[in-house]
Amino acid sequence: MSLQPGLQPGLETLDYTFAGTRPAGAFEPVLVGVVGSGNLEVLLEPAPGNDCSIHIETSARGFGSIWAAVVRDFHQRHGLAGVQLSIHDMGATPAVVSLRLDQAARELQP
Which amino acid appears at position 106 of this protein? R
State residue 109's pLDDT score.
Answer: 77
C-alpha 12/C-alpha 44 separation (Å) is 20
Q: Tens of pLDDT along 10-24?
A: 889 999 999 999 999
Q: Tens of pLDDT along 24-50?
A: 999 999 999 988 777 899 999 999 999
State residue 12's pLDDT score.
Answer: 94
Task: Tell me the domain boundaries of the chain.
Answer: 12-106
State residue 2's pLDDT score.
Answer: 42
The pTM score is 0.87
Helices of type H across 1-110: 64-78, 94-106
Instruction: Tell me the fold of 12-106.
Output: Ribosomal Protein S5; domain 2 (3.30.230)
